[in-house]
Structure 1
Amino acid sequence: MIKVVRGNPTPEELAAALAVVRARAAAAEAEPTPGAAPPEPNWSDPARIARRETHRAGPRAWARTYWPG
């Protein structure tokens, strides 16, 4: 429960304050616990390459088709 101690805030000001409090609470819940394992890095994920724009065909286009394995 939130209680206004001083002043006379507008409904918009109360809504903004409540949004900040709720965002902070959600961020605190999303933080990993100290004993939790770190997330896996995705730098080697092949799907990461597929998200980029594909190159147009042109000179040396064959060199961009090599998939390191």
Structure 2
Amino acid sequence: MSDRPLLRVVRGNPDDAELAALTAVVAAVAAASGGSPAPQRRTSWWNDRATRLSTTPHPGDGAWPASALPR
């Protein structure tokens, strides 16, 4: 554990009830978020539909092999 306080009042003069309410809200938000965000699963570019939708096929030499390459 750290010796640093969880909250610090930088302006104003809150009473004990206001500090307790603020602490409860901050603790609830921290508990609801689960701490750190879950790592996102990377989608293979073979399965990424966005790459297929954003490319326009162009006829010509090498068009067929190039159709499978990511853009």
TM-score range, shorter chain: 0.3 to 0.5
TM-score by structure 1 length?
A: 0.43
Task: Choose between structure 1 and 2: higher helix proportion.
Answer: 1
Larger Rg, first or second structure (1 or 2): 2
TM-score by structure 2 length?
A: 0.42
